[in-house]
Amino acid sequence: LDSEERNLGDSRVVFVFSALRRAFHTAHGEPRQVLKTLFNKFDAGGEGFIRLDSLSKGLRSLEISPQQVKLSQAQLQQVFRRLDMKSTGRVNLGAFSRFILKQHGTGDPKLKRFKLLARDNLVPISEDLEAEFHGLDRRGKGVVTKQEFKELVLEYVEADLVSFLVGKFVSPLGAGKIEYETFFEWLDSLEND
């Protein structure tokens, strides 16, 4: 769990977050397929996204039953808000995957070091970097290859930070692609750390 999730103070909601991630980590198979299978438990209608009203059904299908942990409607909404980081009322496979695969352990000294390095070296040039990423994104899909990302970011920071960033931001759906807008959202969040 990340620090925000640990600070919720609601053990039932925290249980659901942990159980969702545990369902992924204990499943067998190729990670992208496991994510898609989990996602489909919530997207029973096949619409390509999860809504609040399908959340409890998905939890039951994974045997993370709201009755079992006695989630109120407010608690279900709290779980959904955490999945729906953009507040659209719908969670697509990419957002669901980012939630499940999210990096944790804000107490990890290596993570703190990487955040400081990124804040000090990449935040000041983020507008220039973003322009360069847009130039590499010939199709305008918001993604670049891992190799393009590595080559560009290695110009500014050390290799172990680049490896960390690739691991953190490679899309679970995109065959080695990095959704660079997510990377820049993360950089923006570091300005306030």
In the chain the domains, ranked by start, together with CATH numbers, are 3-101 (1.10.238.10), 109-190 (1.10.238.10)
Model pLDDT, residue 107: 46
Model pLDDT, residue 139: 86
The candidate with the shortest Cα–Cα distance to 150, out of 170, 134, 121, is 170
State the Cα–Cα distance between residues 9 and 185, nearest whole angstrom: 26
Model pLDDT, residue 50: 93
The count of other CB atoms within 10 Å of the CB of residue 1 is 15
Q: Going from the first residue of the chain to its last (193 residues), give the mean pLDDT of each consecutive group of 10, the final group possibly shorter.
A: 52 78 77 86 89 86 66 85 87 85 53 81 89 89 88 88 84 72 84 65
From residue 13, give the alpha-carbon distance in Å to each of 33, 80, 117, 151, 159: 26, 10, 33, 41, 37
